[in-house]
Amino acid sequence: MGGWLRLGFGPLRPNFVVRATALVAVSIVLSSCSLAEAPLLHPSGPIAESQRNLLFEVFALMLIVVIPVFIMAIWFGWRYRASATQSAFDPDWERAPFLDGLIWALPAAIIVILGFMVWRSTHQLDPYRSLAAAGDSTQVQVITLEWKYVFLYPKEGIASVNELVFPADKPVQLVMTSDSAMTSLLIPALGGQVYAMAGMATRLNLLAFGPGEFLGRNALYNGDGFADQTFRVRAVTQAEFSDWIASAKQAPVLDAAAYKDLSQPGILRRPLQYSQFASGFFQSILDKYATPLKMQQTPRHP
């Protein structure tokens, strides 16, 4: 070949191949550094951990197909290369029962296994599934705006914007709706995602292994401010949670005028706190988009 490697797209110099290989290797190393910090691969809660394990299981199952394909591609290319004149090559065959059975049986088995995994994980990782007995979790009502998240704490009688705080030793139950465009709430380190839609109440149950600070965001494109629609999530000790509630009690009231200002489209650069809000405020947002028939059928929320 005279120092050239002839490929389908023309001749290729060996030094180019070396450089391309080095570039791929560096890209893999750099990507592995970023993956090491990915919350999806290093979860901070049991839900996210189960989702991570499911991802690994599906990935391992797919390798049953992927690895043989790469091995055979390399082996076939080497065995039937142009210079290997002694390799037997007999394409004129009519039946290969073992090969035909393998081609059909392996994908069928993978589909059956994947079906079982989907059925199992759909029940185990149901976001509506409660993680604790009634009264043992922190109840938070979530209203999504353009492009903010309003968190109402009905038991504590306080509210916050773009900051979700809860005790690390208790599950948190989010009941969500939207007072604007449809969004999808996602906290990668703890689990998710679940949509929030106007006139509907959806749920998400989460739990943190221990104290920590995480990032939450809107995972559904819904306009100009989508990229910046994020919020801070803090799992804290019970004492820190009590102190945070006490500080919120000193904040302004979330009245109609304050909520009207929040409802204006825009990005909020820092979290806000409110000392109280009207009783039934979350339900009033739901009723705002409900028809009379739907209002009779929709369960009331505290």
Instruction: Compute the distance between CA of residue 186 and CA of residue 8 in angstroms, rounded to an integer.
Output: 45
Task: Count Cα atoms within 13 angstroms, Cβ side, for 94.
Answer: 0
- pLDDT, tens digit, 9 for 90 and up, residues 38-76: 777 889 999 999 999 999 998 998 888 889 889 989 988
Q: The dihedral of CA 253, 271, 221, 48: what is its sign? A: negative
Which backbone phi and psi does 167 adopt, to 5 degrees? Answer: -65, 135
Per-residue pLDDT of the chain (302 residues; tens, 9 = 90+): 443 334 343 444 445 445 555 555 555 555 544 454 677 788 999 999 999 999 999 899 888 888 988 998 998 888 888 787 777 766 666 777 887 888 888 888 889 998 999 899 988 899 999 887 656 889 999 999 999 999 999 999 999 999 999 999 899 999 999 999 899 999 999 988 899 999 999 999 999 999 999 999 999 998 888 999 999 999 999 999 999 999 999 999 999 999 999 999 999 889 999 999 999 999 999 999 876 555 555 555 55
Q: Model pTM greater than 0.85?
A: no
Peptide bond preceding 104 in cis form (omega within 30 of 0): no
Contact present, 144 and 285 (Cβ < 8 Å) = no
User: How far is Cα 176 from Cα 286, in angstroms, rounded to an integer?
Assistant: 10
Torsion of CA 229, 27, 53, 36, to 10 degrees: -70
Helix, strand or coil for residue 288? helix
